[in-house]
Structure 1
Amino acid sequence: MRWNTAAAAALSLLVWTVQSLAQTAGLEAFQRPERVPFPASAPYSREVATLGKMLFFDPRLSSGQNISCSSCHNPSFGWEVPVPKAMGAAGTPVRRHAPTLLNAAWITPLLWDGRAASLEEQAIGPITAGDKMNATFSGITERLSAVRDYRLWFERLFPGKGIRKETVLTALATYQRTIVSGVASFDRWVEGDETAVSNAAKRGFALFTGRANCVSCHAGWMFTDNRLYDIGLQASDPGSGELEPPGKGQIHRFKTPGLRNISLRAPYMHDGSLASLEEVIRHYAAGGAAAPGRTPDIEGFAITGDEIADLIAFLETLTDTGTNVPSPILPAN
């Protein structure tokens, strides 16, 4: 009996060691990058990013001067808003749930349907869309040019160009590339601190990367593969299927969102139709809920209530705890 007990203990230790090594190897794929990627055409400049931040929070970028970029992308809510559809400048809901701007420097293509290739291109859509900011760049240039401080800053940072569509977009995009999720408890676990997350969260991570296979789409340190899928929502929105020219088989496909700070970003999905992380997990476990005849790009999986709690415990470790984004002081007219 002593030999059997010792053998069993040794076998248990071996299994634990193998599992621990496998988990450690798996965690390496989720390490944070050391640098933010900036394009050669728009290298990082602290002053340009500061100017871009002011523009991001300035309602003068909307036609009615009543909303700003931050009205739909609020840093307090994971750079989204806590409602299914944000309100546009005309006081009516926009078409889709506001996507997060967290880690936008690594996202490509951008927007729910993937229609924008760069942050500069992306910003044009919401600024000029009638149901969003409803502005024109000629109007924005006129309003900003009436502000002495803006005139001085643009001329100094963009010599010979001043305030125009190109420089406004460059400043906005430079700031948005600095919107990076902070270090979370999950990151400390990745770096080797076994006490950084709970046992429930570790079980949830095992499910996430194992039987539930969430990692097949939510991969890497941002937890997204930057691809588009039909996830089986009961919605008429064609997603990337409406782009010109229409892509074959792209109907109902939307971008995989990253999961950083996900616990702050309810409600979820491109239409804001799922109110909680539990609803999201149950949707995927059921294999979607699309109308008969549609074949979503997801497969269901069996899961218990306790396992749902474990998955949520893991997802909550992706939220940073030390990031604070104070609103800038805007120049007066």
Structure 2
Amino acid sequence: MSLSIRLSVVMVGLMAVAGDASAPAQHAGPPPIPKAGPLAQPRSIKQVGLPADQTLAAIPTDNPQTPEKIALGQKLFFDGRLSVDRTVACATCHDPQRAFTDGRPTSVGVQGRSGQRNAPTVLNALYNKTQFWDGRAKTLEEQAALPIVNPVEMGQPDLEAAVRSLAAYPEYRQAFEKAFGRAPNGQDLLRAIASYERTLTSFDSPFDRFLAGDGKAIDESAKRGWVLFNDRARCNKCHALPDETPDLTNFKDDDFHNIGVLIVRHRVVPLARKAEKLVDSGNAVEVDRAAIQSDMSALGRFLVTKKESDIASFKTPGLRNVLVTAPYFHDGSHQTLWDVLDHYNKGAGLRDPWLDQDIQPLGLRENELDDLVAFMASLTSDVYQAQGAQELARQRALARANRPFRDTRRAFGPKPSRTDAGTP
């Protein structure tokens, strides 16, 4: 399937304003692998707000949970020996102290190589219908395989190379035998990691207690923010859905949207043409490498579906613990929640012909943005309250000093035409 003629029509306009994307940053090396402390332990199912039935339904029949499998998965998650040079573990990009993110715009892997995607949290990932920002994996098992063999993440030549490395250690031969009754192998390795990740639920927030009937669990600012969230701020268009039974488990719609995040940095039309052959190949490893290592990352969901309407569309992230998972968006380009709200408030994306129809100027005033931040802060689980307080103070200080995405004129202006050629 070729792209429609409309791509050619907009190509000149996009290329005129889009500079060449910079090469991925190179670092001296990956950060130290985090230790498996208390926040790394499997979570209790007795959390306020945890949906018991949905949690049980998220366990696949072909990979039932067992204590031995979960313990092996946790061990693997924090072990650098899973990578080609023993320097990178799953926890490198998914640190429990940072709500299983890494605090970086984009993650750093073996030999200090940096990709082009921000590390999403693993917390509550068991509820996701798809994994990764572009949904290129359907299950946690599929997701676990790809970073191991990506050259800028763990760098193994293939999954079997990782298995051979681990099988050299008696501790792993014994752990696999105990969990699966057989020697280490690739599929069981992935099953173990996924089993551990399915224990990482995170609820027990002030907002959960508010929904449960405690009117004093959140302050008045957060309450006003919740009203705005469902009304003039239009957040519920993607983060809960405005129907009779909105999904308040993770505040997401399990869909993909083009929200206009810095799309004009990239020559997306030539990239889309180049990507068509790659998508047609059906090679999941090569698509993964394109998403992480190349400028094709900007194409988002298109790398999976090859649909024009999916160009630069990315998965709606959940909002639980969002305060402690900065920076934001698929490329980590926004440092604070105020930056995120400024982006939406101005209806960003004027030169983006694939912009989601719900992105439009909101006309929210500063005190209303503060209320929305207060609401999002109330989604912080109790185990992250200390980090949340520090992070809120840090972000507030940054927001008072610099607001690079604020545009009051556009925020309070009329909804622009999709053919508007104004400044992006």
Q: TM-score, normalised by structure 1?
A: 0.84
Q: Contact 2:311/2:354 (CA < 8 Å) preserved in 1?
A: no
C-alpha distance in 2, partners of 1:83/1:31? 29
Deviation at 1:241, TM superposition (A): 1.1
Counterpart residue type for residue 343 of structure 2: H
The 3-state SS of whatever aligns with 2:131 is coil
Counterpart residue type for residue 262 of structure 2: Q
**Residue of structure 1 equivalent to 2:138:** 117
Residue of 327, 331, 334 corresponding to 1:267: 327
C-alpha distance in 2, partners of 1:207/1:185? 18
Residue of 75, 82, 87 corresponding to 2:108: 87
C-alpha distance in 1, partners of 2:237/2:50? 19
C-alpha distance in 2, partners of 1:89/1:131? 6
C-alpha distance in 2, partners of 1:318/1:247? 34
C-alpha distance in 1, partners of 2:365/2:109? 40
**Residue of structure 2 equivalent to 1:7:** none
The reply on whether 1:258 has 2:302 as its aligned counterpart is no
**Residue of structure 1 equivalent to 2:400:** none
C-alpha distance in 1, partners of 2:316/2:140? 17
Counterpart residue type for residue 33 of structure 1: P
Q: Contact 2:69/2:180 (CA < 8 Å) preserved in 1?
A: no
Greater displacement, 167-176 / 82-91: 82-91
Q: TM-score, normalised by structure 2?
A: 0.67
Residue of 320, 323, 330 corresponding to 2:381: 320
Residue of 227, 230, 246 corresponding to 1:209: 230
Deviation at 1:240, TM superposition (A): 1.1
Residue of 326, 335, 340 corresponding to 1:280: 340
Query: C-alpha deviations, 1:3-22, integer Å up to 9, x for none?
Result: xxxxxxxxxxxxxxxxxxxx
Deviation at 1:294, TM superposition (A): 4.7
Q: Contact 1:283/1:289 (CA < 8 Å) preserved in 2?
A: no
Q: Contact 1:73/1:98 (CA < 8 Å) preserved in 2?
A: yes
Query: C-alpha deviations, 1:248-276, integer Å up to 9, x for none?
Result: 41100000000110010110000000000
Residue of 289, 305, 309 corresponding to 2:370: 309
C-alpha distance in 1, partners of 2:361/2:83? 43
Deviation at 1:296, TM superposition (A): 3.4
C-alpha distance in 2, partners of 1:116/1:77? 24
Residue of 152, 155, 158 corresponding to 2:177: 155
Judged with a 3 Å threshold, the aligned counterparts in structure 2 of structure 1 residues 113 and 290 are, in CA distance, closer, same or farther, namely: farther
C-alpha distance in 1, partners of 2:187/2:67? 18
Residue correspondence of structure 1 range 56-71 to structure 2 within 5 A: 56-71=77-92
**Residue of structure 2 equivalent to 1:33:** 51
Structure with greater Cα Rg: 1
Query: C-alpha deviations, 1:104-143, integer Å up to 9, x for none?
Result: 1100111001111101111111111111111122221122
**Residue of structure 2 equivalent to 1:327:** none
**Residue of structure 2 equivalent to 1:144:** 166
Counterpart residue type for residue 70 of structure 1: A
Judged with a 3 Å threshold, the aligned counterparts in structure 2 of structure 1 residues 224 and 293 are, in CA distance, closer, same or farther, namely: closer
Deviation at 1:31, TM superposition (A): 4.9
C-alpha distance in 2, partners of 1:155/1:274? 45
RMSD: 1.7
Deviation at 1:292, TM superposition (A): 5.3
The reply on whether 1:199 has 2:220 as its aligned counterpart is yes
Deviation at 1:182, TM superposition (A): 3.3
Judged with a 3 Å threshold, the aligned counterparts in structure 2 of structure 1 residues 44 and 262 are, in CA distance, closer, same or farther, namely: same
Query: C-alpha deviations, 1:61-89, integer Å up to 9, x for none?
Result: 11111010000011111211111011111
The 3-state SS of whatever aligns with 2:309 is coil
Gap runs ≥5 in structure 2: 1-47, 241-246, 267-297, 386-424
**Residue of structure 1 equivalent to 2:355:** 295
C-alpha distance in 1, partners of 2:252/2:183? 37
Greater displacement, 162-171 / 290-299: 290-299
C-alpha distance in 2, partners of 1:169/1:158? 12
**Residue of structure 1 equivalent to 2:30:** none
The 3-state SS of whatever aligns with 1:52 is helix
Residue of 226, 233, 243 corresponding to 2:254: 226
Deviation at 1:149, TM superposition (A): 1.5
**Residue of structure 2 equivalent to 1:176:** 197
Q: Contact 1:90/1:132 (CA < 8 Å) preserved in 2?
A: no
Greater displacement, 201-210 / 147-156: 147-156
Q: Contact 2:79/2:89 (CA < 8 Å) preserved in 1?
A: yes
Deviation at 1:150, TM superposition (A): 1.1
Q: Contact 2:209/2:217 (CA < 8 Å) preserved in 1?
A: yes
**Moved beyond 6 Å, runs of 4+:** none
The reply on whether 1:241 has 2:281 as its aligned counterpart is no
**Residue of structure 1 equivalent to 2:11:** none
Query: C-alpha deviations, 1:18-67, integer Å up to 9, x for none?
Result: xxxxxxxxxxxx95302422011111112211110110010011111101
